[in-house]
Structure 1
Amino acid sequence: MMDSPTSVVEAAFRHYRSQDRDAALPLYADDFTFTSPRDDHIDKAAFFERCFPTADRFKEQRLLHVTPVDRELVLVYYEYELMTGDRYRNVEAITVREGLIREVQVFFGGGV
């Protein structure tokens, strides 16, 4: 049985925070793309090289809402605290199809 899009997304966040690259890799499609204000449609290899190893910047990250929008789209609203003590909130729109994360679009929020 295939995992729900919400459970796939929650697992991806857990693996990111624990920096378990081996567990995270199979959750992402080969044609995965990642977009944020700092990255424009980078591929899976670039994401795992540039973005995935950044969890050590965070003192804490809390998922405030993980909301399925339809069969494939999950919105994640989260808050994080940097090691500097600064706190922020972001939203991610994550497309999950056939049990794999196909696309992540990150929308940076402001300080809390």
Structure 2
Amino acid sequence: MTGSPTSIVEAAFQYYRAQDHDAAVVLYADDFSFTSPQDDHIGKAAFFERCFPTANRFKEQRLLHVTPVDQELVFVCYEYELLSGERHRNVEMITVRDGLIREVQVFFGGKV
């Protein structure tokens, strides 16, 4: 995909929420790495197997801030509501290089 790192990140979130695997997978580099409090530097295949299919547990997800930090790094703060009614916020640091998402680091927030 061509575009700014911010537009690539926004597209990735859109495809995640829509569970459009085919559109999403091409946004991620083959050497992609995903880290969260539950996952330690997992690769692209593990991410799409474990993490990508989880959108069905959300009632809604809103991007609050999508902020470019430099030429490659984008900070994203989002809020989501689970089907249970609980609301949470998370922050992600996403590295986009040469039009592909190379790394995502997720920092879980608490209930809102």
TM-score of the two chains, using structure 2 as the length reference: 0.99
- 1:51 alignment counterpart: 51
In structure 1, the gaps of 5 or more residues are none
Q: CA RMSD in A?
A: 0.9
Q: Does 1:80 align with 2:80?
A: yes
The within-5 A match list for 1:24-39 is: 24-39=24-39
SS of match in other structure, 2:11 = helix
- 1:14 alignment counterpart: 14
Question: Per-residue deviation at 1:2?
Answer: 3.1
Distance 2:2 2:27 in 1: 12
How many residues get paired? 112
Hey, which bits of structure 1, 4+ residues long, moved more than 3 A?
none
1:63-106 Cα deviation digits (max 9, x unpaired): 00000000000000000000000000000000000000000000
Q: Does 1:108 align with 2:74?
A: no
TM-score of the two chains, using structure 1 as the length reference: 0.99
Sequence identity percentage:
79
Q: Does 1:3 align with 2:6?
A: no
**Aligned letter for 1:98?**
D
